[in-house]
Amino acid sequence: MEVERAAEGANEGDGPFRAACAGCVYGLRLQADRPLPGLVGAPAAPGVDVRVWCAAPPSWVRRLMEGDQRLWHASPSRDARGRPALTIWELGRGACLRLRYGDGAEFFVDRNGSRVWAKPSERATRQDTVSYLLGPVLSLVLSLRGITCLRASAIAVQDEAIAFVGPVGAGKSTTAAALGARGYPVLSDDLVALGERGETFVAHPGLPWLRLRPTAVDALALAAGVPPPLAPTPDGWYLDLDLTRPGYRFQPGPLPLAAIYLLDERGAHPGAPCVDAVPAADALISLIANTWTTRVLDGAMRAREFELLGRVASAVPVRRVRSHADPARLPELCDVLVEDLRAVV
């Protein structure tokens, strides 16, 4: 009976929701009760898809935590104490999911992907909590809502989207930043949410910044001709490139997906930098390996993602990029990509 009562209240918090900021991100109309970077001042479409509470979870969630919690996912990567980087439990027979990160930050997401509660920990900074929320947590929200998310950055070329897909460290953000310095608007960084309009696949915009590793600074200065306007994140681990600054542009609306470039790990590849076509079957395998939530999906969600990516791989040109390990050759990579884009856009 407790589960049924909790499920009935799953769309509500413990009090009235007071929006402090609102905006559209990854195709979702989002409201939060605390200011969130990138959403402040962003235009909000009518209606709300997701509400975010940056406070303790409501009483119905706390009651569910006292009952059975079914393990949904435990990350294979561990911290120094052997704890998973991320653990997810299912509460109340699916009424909501509980996410706990290694630093103690927790999030509760209702199964419809329409309500999120963020519970910071003493060991996690506010920046950490916001980074979790606007990245992996929203990727899970999108998956619950039937939307597939690629580990990708994207730019706009002639009113079409070009996605750069690859694992951590492949250079997705750096490549997007370098092309952004050449005048191409940036659509999204690190996460690209895919939608459909009839028979066309679209890529939704993210937030108006690129998050870069400090090691990318010198290469970007060479590619742009001048040092890019970067600001360190509060934790000091990354640098943010504000796309609203002069010299860069942010693409605020969704665009048809024209091509996908798979970035191999950078190395001393023969002939690098170079671009080659990828057969649809090979492209599908690479796309599946580079989705945000592939390891945490249940059977039905995984089947839905596989079906959509199969259609993407068949309908959208997919190209493989082999980059050189030498960061000084980033301008040369941009030249190769610009030349190849003329053939696919």
DSSP 196-255: EETTEEEEE---SEEEE-GGGHHHHHHHHSS---EEE-TTSS-EEEETTSTT--B--S-E
CATH number of domain containing 167: 3.40.50
Whether residue 177 is found in the same domain as residue 35: no
The answer, yes or no, to whether residue 223 has pLDDT greater than 90, is: no
- The enclosing H or E element of 61 equals helix 59-65
pLDDT given for residue 312 in this prediction:
97
Between 66 and 123, residue with greater pLDDT: 66
Residues 187 and 326 in one domain: yes
Whether the CB-CB separation of 188 and 164 falls below 8 Å is answered with no
Tally of domains within the chain: 2
- Boundary residue ending a domain (113, 144, 175): 144
d(CA 105, CA 128): 8
pLDDT at 1: 38
Bridge partners of 194, per DSSP, are: 203
Assess whether 111 and 160 both reside in one domain.
Answer: no
- What three-state secondary structure class fits 137? helix
Among 98, 124, 144, the domain-final residue is: 144
**Cβ-contact 103, 83 below 8 angstroms:** no
Q: Give the range of the structural domain holding residue 108, as residue numbers without chain letter.
A: 2-144
Per-residue pLDDT band for 14 (boundaries 50, 70, 90) equals low
Tens of pLDDT, residue by residue over 183-209, are 999 999 999 999 999 999 999 999 999
Specify the pLDDT at position 17.
79
- The reply to whether 96 and 211 lie within a common domain is no
pTM metric for this prediction: 0.89
70 with 185, same domain: the answer is no
Instruction: Please report which confidence band the pLDDT of residue 151 belongs to, taking 50, 70 and 90 as the band edges.
Output: very high
Q: Check whether residue 83 and residue 98 sit in a common domain.
A: yes
Co-location of 122 and 170 in the same domain: no
pLDDT attached to residue 7: 44
pLDDT at position 12: 54
The answer to whether residues 261 and 216 belong to one domain is yes
Of the two residues 113 and 299, the one the predictor is more confident about is 113
pLDDT digits (tens, 9 = 90+) for 239-269: 889 999 888 999 999 999 999 999 987 766 6
Judged by average pLDDT, the poorest of 88-102, 120-134, 206-220, 316-330 is 120-134
Q: Does residue 243 sit in the same domain as residue 99? A: no
Say whether both 207 and 331 belong to one domain: yes
Output the pLDDT for position 260. 98
